[in-house]
Structure 1
């Protein structure tokens, strides 16, 4: 598993509005049983004001999505199957969003 890999959201309750999740945890910690992820949501499903710096836009397989940084979660690594994309080209924006979440800057 690689940092910023994107996976299908397999949760039937949320997968329609949040079709993917992105792994945010460093690949150096792959031997831990859990990993930190954040959902990637369809813009029309976000019913609150999107803060661009906190919620950068990304594109996965031709679909525009919003990273919901504030909805971080730790999940069992075993729930993630094959990655479908990688957001490394947007690494700086994603790390800035996490920094903004935790430090306000």
Structure 2
């Protein structure tokens, strides 16, 4: 989820995804938005935002850039509470 402007850094900021079905009613409105990708219903697990060495991230399988508003909103909620 990290901006390409920071591609010189050795790490990447990431937010894991989880299968929607594994969380029952535990999804948090706004904080863990639902995302559809590759015919799967997923949750953006914003509270688990982390940094990963770039060398461990290989073979991207797609982009979630079309979910930008939901991702930025979830991060905003996590950081500011708004």
TM-score (norm 2): 0.92
- More helix, by proportion: 2
**How far does residue 47 in structure 1 lie from its aligned partner after superposition?**
6.5
Residue-by-residue CA offset, 1:7-61 (whole Å, 9 max, x unaligned): xxxxxxxxxxxxxxxxx21110011000110111001223672112000111111
1:58 — aligned with what? 35
Is structure 2 residue 67 aligned with structure 1 residue 102?
no
TM-score (norm 1): 0.73
Give, in whole Å, the separation in 2 of the partners of 1:44 and 1:81.
Answer: 26
TM alignment of 1:9-88, pairs within 5 A: 24-46=1-23, 49-88=26-65
SS of corresponding position for 1:86: coil
Q: How many residues align?
A: 82
**How far does residue 96 in structure 1 lie from its aligned partner after superposition?**
0.4
Give, in whole Å, the separation in 2 of the partners of 1:43 and 1:92.
Answer: 19
Stretches of structure 2 lacking an aligned partner (at least 5 in a row)? none
